[in-house]
Structure 1
Amino acid sequence: MRHVTIAAAAYPLDWAEDWAAYEAKTRAWVQMAALKKADLLVFPEYAAMELASLGGAEVAADLTRAVTEVLYHRAAMERHFEGLAIEFGLYILAPSGPAQDGYDLRNRAVLFGPAGRIGHQDKAIMTRFEREDWTIGPGRGLTLFDTGIGKIGIVICYDSEFPLLSRALCEAGAEILLAPSCTDAASGYNRVRIGAQARALENQCVTVQAPVVGLAPWCPAVDENHGAAGIYGPPDAGWPEDGVIARGGYDEPGWVVATVDLDQVTHSRRDGSVLLFQHWSEQPLQAVQIRTVAESPRKS
């Protein structure tokens, strides 16, 4: 059996007076998950925006200057999480946030392991806010991370709502899909949650949602955040009947931790009660054959 213990963060954004305060907070979070024997830690989308507080109130309150401040600290943040992954012998998906890609901005999440940096995934499909107000653009393609604990794909927030992205990753071998999220309303949280659960169903795999929670009125880009951390699987034999492996309380900060057996992913895909992963390719054969049947007029 290939057991992996996953910790999904429901993470509040706090004002940090200085780098030492930020470092102390994030170290405490990692240490807490390590004490729970977690192998893989997942931090949320845009949780890196709390670094904007290091520039002071005026900077954090301005959309453009807040991004610039986060970019200034980005390399230090990555070194910090890389060091934590090495020190604690863990895999960590660090908080996503703005990253410079040439002249363009991306929403980037970096995965670290016990040996250091593994690689990154940029968000592929942008929300209206990112497109229209924040000028953060899409990345280029998807990455499969072949790690010592399993094959991992990352679908950042909105990406989890588009099934072909997750399907491509799972066809490439992904067994776990990580969906870090940042949503400002219950509807947004539920879209990502439903997306994550649907992707687990379709691909007969494990999905992990890690949201930002709570209020951060000092930074308009992430001023209100709602959600619950969750770890999901397919509702099939060997899994919970509702597909919910573990889920935290709504807007309740902390780690949600569960142990999954990735051999069960392999078994479900090969010999589950249903075989959605295998039967996916049958859809186009049916979808191209659309007939229209008109209702006959009612006789008077």
Structure 2
Amino acid sequence: MMKIATAAYPLDPVQTWDAYAAKLEEWVADAAGQGADLLVFPEYGAMELAILDGPEAAGDLERSLHAVSRWLPEVDNLHSELAARYGVHICAASAPVFDLDHGTRPVNRARLFTPQGGCGVQDKQIMTRFEREDWDVIPGGPLRLFDTALGRIGILICYDVEFPLLARALSDADVILAPSCTEALAGYSRVRIGAMARALETQCVVAMASTVGDAAWCPAVDENTGMGGIFGPPDTGFPPTGVIAEGVLNKPGWTFAEIRPAAVAAVRVEGVVLNRAHWTEQPERAEKAINLSLR
């Protein structure tokens, strides 16, 4: 059994590093205290760190990227310490990272920390229009599947979960994490629908985290709509709606669900339908499509 906690996380204008560290520990302690094994923070939740370089840096799209990226070594050390102290796995809020392996522009990177001191990184694969056209954040390294004490975990950051072939590359995952940052209800809905579709196709659990609330002091993430959600295939061993747990729209806090990796393995063999196994039949059937003109 695994208990997942997925965040609806508000971005706060933290004025000092100690204030940020205290906030993060409060969130981790809360989830761990309720028995969570795996904590999922949202996409770009780390942008609140930009204010530590001053309001001018936080208020400028380019300067905010550099400000947050500079704090990441300390942020990662803190997450590693908290994962060990509280005995939990943590998917840290994603952040822009200037990684020389990818040139002069930043990637959007999530990091997965284990209680034993392990750390894996996952970069976003497909960028939104804002990331491409306004922010110049670029795709990073390849998709990875993490073999952990909790099971096999993959990460698809926000927009990535809207693309089925990315999830197919992670089709051996027991759980796919979908940290997200969406401005409007339509954006939240797209990511949620994508998460539920990926759970259906891959016959696994998908855990979605969101940023929530206003952060006018940081224009990159100034408006946020969402909630936590944990989804599975609407099939044997899972709720008929596919919704294992969900939070309240725009209400900060954790959403919890207990899941069994064994249920994922079972539905892939004994489900009413076998979407994951039948995936490979699509190319053959698609090639036989016939174009008809009806008048």
* TM-score range relative to shorter protein: over 0.9
Between the two proteins, the alignment pairs up a number of residues equal to 292
Task: Determine if contact 2:43/2:93 at 8 Å carries over to the other structure.
Answer: yes
Name the CA distance, whole Å, in 2 between partners of 1:220 and 1:293.
49
Secondary structure of the structure 1 residue equivalent to 2:193: helix
Structure 1 residues 20-61: Cα deviation after superposition (integer angstroms, max 9, x where no partner): 000000000000000110000000000000000111111110
TM-score between the two structures when normalised by the length of structure 1: 0.96
Give 1:156's aligned residue: 157
Task: Determine if contact 2:45/2:211 at 8 Å carries over to the other structure.
Answer: yes
Name the CA distance, whole Å, in 1 between partners of 2:253 and 2:264.
27
Report the residue type matching 2:286 in the other structure: A
Give 1:223's aligned residue: 222
Give 1:118 deviation, angstroms.
2.3
Name the CA distance, whole Å, in 1 between partners of 2:153 and 2:200.
16
Structure 1 residues 126-147: Cα deviation after superposition (integer angstroms, max 9, x where no partner): 0011111111100121000000
Secondary structure of the structure 1 residue equivalent to 2:236: coil
Secondary structure of the structure 2 residue equivalent to 1:96: strand
Name the CA distance, whole Å, in 1 between partners of 2:128 and 2:151.
30
Name the CA distance, whole Å, in 2 between partners of 1:272 and 1:117.
34
Give 1:117 deviation, angstroms.
3.2
Give 1:201's aligned residue: 200
Give 1:63's aligned residue: 61
Show structure 1 runs of 4+ deviating over 2 A: none
Name the CA distance, whole Å, in 2 between partners of 1:117 and 1:123.
20
Give 1:116 deviation, angstroms.
1.4
Report the residue type matching 2:147 in the other structure: D
Structure 1 residues 210-246: Cα deviation after superposition (integer angstroms, max 9, x where no partner): 0000000000000000011100000002110100000
Task: Determine if contact 2:236/2:270 at 8 Å carries over to the other structure.
Answer: no
Q: Which 5+ residue runs of structure 2 have no aligned equivalent?
A: none
Give 1:32's aligned residue: 30
Give 2:111's aligned residue: 110
Give 2:16's aligned residue: 18
Secondary structure of the structure 2 residue equivalent to 1:198: helix
Give 1:293 deviation, angstroms.
1.7
Secondary structure of the structure 2 residue equivalent to 1:75: helix
Name the CA distance, whole Å, in 2 between partners of 1:62 and 1:21.
22
Secondary structure of the structure 2 residue equivalent to 1:37: coil
Which of 74, 79, 89 is the matching residue for 1:91?
89
Report the residue type matching 1:266 in the other structure: A
Secondary structure of the structure 1 residue equivalent to 2:106: strand
Give 1:156 deviation, angstroms.
0.1
Name the CA distance, whole Å, in 2 between partners of 1:249 and 1:11.
12
Give 1:179's aligned residue: 178
Provide the identity percentage: 53
Name the CA distance, whole Å, in 1 between partners of 2:154 and 2:105.
23
Report the residue type matching 2:292 in the other structure: V
Name the CA distance, whole Å, in 2 between partners of 1:290 and 1:53.
54
Secondary structure of the structure 2 residue equivalent to 1:194: helix
Give 2:266's aligned residue: 267
Name the CA distance, whole Å, in 1 between partners of 2:250 and 2:55.
25
RMSD: 0.7
Structure 1 residues 164-188: Cα deviation after superposition (integer angstroms, max 9, x where no partner): 0001111xx2110000000000000
TM-score between the two structures when normalised by the length of structure 2: 0.98
Give 1:79's aligned residue: 77
Q: Which 5+ residue runs of structure 1 have no aligned equivalent?
A: none
Secondary structure of the structure 2 residue equivalent to 1:104: coil
Name the CA distance, whole Å, in 2 between partners of 1:140 and 1:16.
30
| 54-63 or 191-200, larger mean C-alpha shift | 54-63
Which of 42, 45, 49 is the matching residue for 2:40?
42
Name the CA distance, whole Å, in 2 between partners of 1:137 and 1:55.
23
| Superposed counterparts of 1:107-146, under 5 Å | 107-146=108-147
